[in-house]
């Protein structure tokens, strides 16, 4: 009887210890969620602002095509290092895995040439767009990638969207349209003040970038369905084509100038910061985003728009009027609404259940750039944000 009582007491103590451990774990996860939120906001906003600042400084500009190539090389090198660490430094296993994944399974590698081509185009277009559009305007307009990814997901993957998501997409489009109408009014004045910037060129670049981001992200997801290859290996395969295509684009667009002035012409610490942000921003987000649910990621994207807008006022003299505020507000609300789990639209954030990560792309990159309702079997949804080049949760390695 005494033994039974002792056992009971021991079980109760173990239960209390387990409960205390669970509470501590929940508190730690809660803190990590908000750390993740801060990281996502900083990465989303800083990449766009730093590119805009670097591309509008007086003097000769660095070649955007070389920056794209450098970002690809850095991401491939990082993924190679991560795989080597997974193999505990065993060089033989590492090389065998690379040979089998890239050369033996060459058909899978070749399939990635399509999204890689599109991502390379997208990364170059982002530099064109940010060089010709105010940072806040680009940040708002670039959220159209949510719409394009959703449409391609429905058409190519037969995914279904909730009524709330369709409403949010409509609000998103309306908000972007309002921002463009507002910007149209000051476009002539801006073009007179700064002849090096072309608003129409920037707008065309961001629209094509959104279309390419949506298609490439969904196409890549379709390839990954049922695949057993790791996300790191897939990104190495992407990077091989991305680096080669980036070099081809550099030769085509800036070949003579690069040959005359050098590959690293115009590279300053700020430019290197942009490249490292684009290359590693998505990887960083991929690591921390596992602690943040889909709603917090929606908050991060929305808040980064606010940060970009406020910072643009001080850095670039950007003027915020009522129409821009209305359009940006609709976009921010739409991004948050789209991230809500199905059937939970009426609940406050604290009561909403966590849902799997779903992000179209990256920078860039990233982020990046970073709309999927569920990830395919065999894919780590937590590392999805850096699969595409836009940095975002709404564009990674």
Task: Give pLDDT tens digits for 65-94.
Answer: 999 999 999 989 998 998 999 888 889 999
Instruction: Answer with the residue of higher pLDDT: 213 or 380.
Output: 213
* Residue 331 and residue 308 in contact, taking contact as beta carbons nearer than 8 Å: no
Q: Which of 38-47, 204-213, 338-347, 352-361 has the lowest mean pLDDT?
A: 352-361
Amino acid 135: pLDDT: 85
Q: What is the pTM of this model?
A: 0.69
Instruction: Tell me the range of 10-14, 320-324, 341-345 where mean pLDDT is highest.
Output: 320-324
In angstroms, the CA 351 to CA 364 distance is 32
**Residue 380 CA to chain centroid, in angstroms?**
16
Backbone angles phi, psi at 267, to 5 degrees: -75, 115
Q: Which of 15-29, 215-229, 273-287, 317-331 has the lowest mean pLDDT?
A: 15-29
Percent of the chain clearing pLDDT 70 (strictly above) = 69
The total of other beta-carbon atoms located within 10 Å of residue 49's CB is 22
pLDDT higher than 60, residue 289: no
Amino acid 295: pLDDT: 60
* Residue 94 and residue 83 in contact, taking contact as beta carbons nearer than 8 Å: yes
Mean pLDDT of the chain: 75
Amino acid 282: pLDDT: 65
């Amino acid at each position: 009887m005494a033994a039974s009582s002792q056992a009971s007491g021991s079980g109760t103590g173990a239960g209390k210890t387990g409960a205390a451990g669970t509470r501590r774990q929940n508190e730690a996860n809660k803190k990590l969620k908000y750390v993740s939120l801060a990281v996502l906001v900083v990465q989303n906003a800083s990449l766009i602002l730093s590119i805009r600042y670097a591309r509008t400084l007086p003097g000769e500009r660095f070649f955007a095509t070389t920056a794209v190539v450098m970002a690809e090389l850095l991401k491939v090198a990082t993924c190679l290092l991560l795989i080597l660490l997974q193999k505990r430094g065993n060089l033989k296993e590492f090389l065998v895995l690379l040979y089998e994944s890239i050369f033996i399974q060459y058909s899978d590698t070749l399939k990635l040439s399509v999204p890689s081509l599109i991502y390379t185009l997208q990364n170059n277009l982002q530099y064109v767009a940010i060089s010709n559009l105010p940072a806040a305007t680009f940040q708002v307009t670039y959220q159209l990638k949510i719409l394009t990814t959703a449409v391609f997901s429905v058409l190519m993957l037969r995914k279904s969207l909730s009524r709330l998501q369709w409403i949010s997409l409509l609000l998103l489009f309306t908000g972007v349209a309002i921002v463009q109408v507002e910007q149209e009014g000051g476009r002539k004045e801006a073009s007179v003040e700064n002849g090096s910037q072309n608003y129409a060129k920037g707008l065309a670049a961001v629209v094509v970038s959104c279309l390419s981001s949506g298609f490439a992200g969904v196409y890549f997801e379709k390839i990954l369905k049922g695949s057993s290859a790791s996300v790191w290996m897939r990104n190495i395969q992407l990077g091989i084509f991305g680096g080669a295509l980036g070099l081809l684009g550099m030769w085509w667009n800036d070949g003579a100038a690069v040959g005359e002035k050098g590959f690293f012409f115009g590279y300053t610490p700020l430019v290197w910061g942009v490249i490292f942000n684009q290359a590693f921003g998505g990887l960083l987000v991929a690591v921390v985003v596992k602690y943040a649910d889909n709603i917090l990621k929606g908050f991060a994207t929305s808040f980064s728009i606010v940060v970009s807008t406020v910072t643009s006022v001080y850095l670039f003299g950007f003027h915020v009027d009522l129409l821009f505020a209305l359009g940006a507000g609709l976009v921010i609300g739409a991004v948050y609404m789209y991230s809500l789990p199905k059937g939970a639209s009426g609940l406050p954030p604290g009561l909403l259940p966590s849902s799997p990560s779903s992000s179209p792309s990256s920078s860039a990159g990233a982020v990046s750039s970073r709309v999927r309702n569920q990830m395919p079997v065999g894919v780590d949804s937590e590392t999805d944000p850096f699969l595409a080049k836009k940095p975002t949760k709404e564009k990674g390695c």
